[in-house]
Structure 1
């Protein structure tokens, strides 16, 4: 199995190369977390790490970047948008423009029947770990993905894209100086390692296993919903719902689908920080090619 093969299947003209910054950053966080993480854990440090995860992953990634900037699921001021983007930077997932680009690449291909293997999920978790966390895609023509130019050329997002790792490393140094080395390990290295690996794992599982209530015509990937991963990932694990309702701020559309990201958005709306919130079942968020169907379950043993 060729885990790091840059000639893995992509669209003609597109190029896969080893993402040195992406993979190097992962192990820069992961190796110290594995070496010192367990011995550095304490109740107070763990609670602080959880709070930082809510702010950086919940508000920054799921609410700010994914639902807000990419899918325009609500409106907000430029100040709120910029603050949420800065929270995303401290998730340690990478630069905002890199994530915007990759998201548009994936959405474009996964909604087509001729989706290349790189964007499909008919391979193993081991292979996906290699592809997803270590390779970088350079498309032959980025214009076909219709990425909003106001995002690509936003001065704040461009600045964060160029400097995101310095913000994270600066915060790590500050925590070390003000608190302790152990606090830095738990609140930065361990938290970011869990965030990166958790995001990859949720993305892999939610495209492979769970239940689906929508079919999407001509799409190679429909996504699946997962009760546990959906709750743990601020709603991102309800991926079939998201594929069918991409502009909905609420990903858990049923009462039993716990979408913590939706509660964060409701809180922001009550504070007057976001408005014109798009919600599945209340506003027109359903993709024209998405069709409701009886629940379909898929499990690993059905491979």
Structure 2
């Protein structure tokens, strides 16, 4: 996909750019941050099954893996955060946590063992189906894009968009454990990083997230932009999102650092 994206300057047109932008939202916000992360990994809220499955399918189109494997890796990250058993530990260097860990296909099993932390997903036939047919779906989308807009739609709707969402997701694992500030006593390296939050639909408020993993809202302050939370809140308002979890004031007081902010 990185090689494909190199053709972007030579195959630019506005419809192709708009397709890439739309799929960035569909796969990045609805698929990765809302579905794979907040809904499936942390069960921060509940959705009707048809909508849960629809959003999860959007995540598959991001080409970051099937829901079962993605969620398993993320749950291990929280279980072993910033330790030698963390699947993408920042203690092994920025580039390892950003993308280097992906090139060692056995590293997650070697560090964490078999993925036995996703029984809630494995018991559902839909997620087993996505795991067994995972690679078919993004390429089916690619075929549809080619039939609709030719090679420019492939370059922008697949190459540029997938690489863009890749690196935004990976910056949460890397940059948000290196640069930013801490407001909560999480005993790890997680940081709140405003520019990652802007690009990743609110995921950059990472210290907030590590303090309250269960929370559907990552941008806990009024000024902390969190587009994923705004969508969840809208779904809650129309009755589609239920059991929406948020930290209480007591929980916040328990996790707060003595100082307001630790700058790094």
TM-score w.r.t. length of structure 1: 0.79
Counterpart for residue 296 of structure 1: 262
Aligned 8 A contact 1:244 1:287 in 2: no
Tell me the CA shift for residue 202 of structure 1.
Answer: 3.0
Counterpart for residue 172 of structure 2: 202
Taking structure 1 as reference, are residues 286 and 109 closer, same or farther at Cα in structure 2, changes over 3 Å only?
Answer: farther
For residues 130 and 241 of structure 1, what CA distance do their matches in structure 2 show?
23
For residues 108 and 117 of structure 1, what CA distance do their matches in structure 2 show?
8
For residues 97 and 242 of structure 1, what CA distance do their matches in structure 2 show?
21
For residues 285 and 76 of structure 1, what CA distance do their matches in structure 2 show?
25
Tell me the CA shift for residue 105 of structure 1.
Answer: 1.5
Identify the range of structure 1 (161-170 vs 196-205) with the bigger mean alpha-carbon deviation: 196-205
For residues 47 and 227 of structure 2, what CA distance do their matches in structure 1 show?
20
Residue of structure 2 aligned with 1:243, choices 166, 188, 210: 210
Aligned 8 A contact 1:118 1:131 in 2: no
Taking structure 1 as reference, are residues 265 and 44 closer, same or farther at Cα in structure 2, changes over 3 Å only?
Answer: same
Q: Structure 1, residues 43-68: CA drift from partner, whole Å, max 9, x if none?
A: 33222211111111101111111111
Counterpart for residue 90 of structure 2: 121
Taking structure 1 as reference, are residues 48 and 141 closer, same or farther at Cα in structure 2, changes over 3 Å only?
Answer: closer
Counterpart for residue 252 of structure 1: 219
Tell me the CA shift for residue 246 of structure 1.
Answer: 0.5
Counterpart for residue 75 of structure 1: 46
Counterpart for residue 3 of structure 2: 31
Which SS does the other structure have where 1:110 is aligned?
coil
For residues 257 and 291 of structure 1, what CA distance do their matches in structure 2 show?
17
Tell me the CA shift for residue 287 of structure 1.
Answer: 11
Taking structure 1 as reference, are residues 175 and 148 closer, same or farther at Cα in structure 2, changes over 3 Å only?
Answer: closer
| In the alignment, structure 1 residue 51 sits paired with structure 2 residue 16 | no
Aligned 8 A contact 1:252 1:259 in 2: yes
Q: What are the ranges of 5 or more consecutive residues in structure 1 without an aligned counterpart? A: 1-28, 299-303
Alignment of 1:80-229 (within 5 A): 80-110=51-81, 115-116=84-85, 119-129=88-98, 131-136=100-105, 137-139=108-110, 142=113, 147-216=117-186, 219=187, 221-229=188-196
For residues 57 and 258 of structure 2, what CA distance do their matches in structure 1 show?
39
Taking structure 1 as reference, are residues 185 and 296 closer, same or farther at Cα in structure 2, changes over 3 Å only?
Answer: same
Q: Which has a greater percent of strand?
A: 1
For residues 106 and 117 of structure 1, what CA distance do their matches in structure 2 show?
5
TM-score w.r.t. length of structure 2: 0.89
Taking structure 1 as reference, are residues 280 and 124 closer, same or farther at Cα in structure 2, changes over 3 Å only?
Answer: same
Taking structure 1 as reference, are residues 142 and 124 closer, same or farther at Cα in structure 2, changes over 3 Å only?
Answer: closer
Aligned 8 A contact 1:55 1:87 in 2: yes
Tell me the CA shift for residue 115 of structure 1.
Answer: 4.2
Which SS does the other structure have where 1:231 is aligned?
helix
Tell me the CA shift for residue 185 of structure 1.
Answer: 1.1
Q: CA RMSD in A?
A: 2.4
Tell me the CA shift for residue 161 of structure 1.
Answer: 1.4
Tell me the CA shift for residue 140 of structure 1.
Answer: 7.5
Taking structure 1 as reference, are residues 37 and 155 closer, same or farther at Cα in structure 2, changes over 3 Å only?
Answer: same
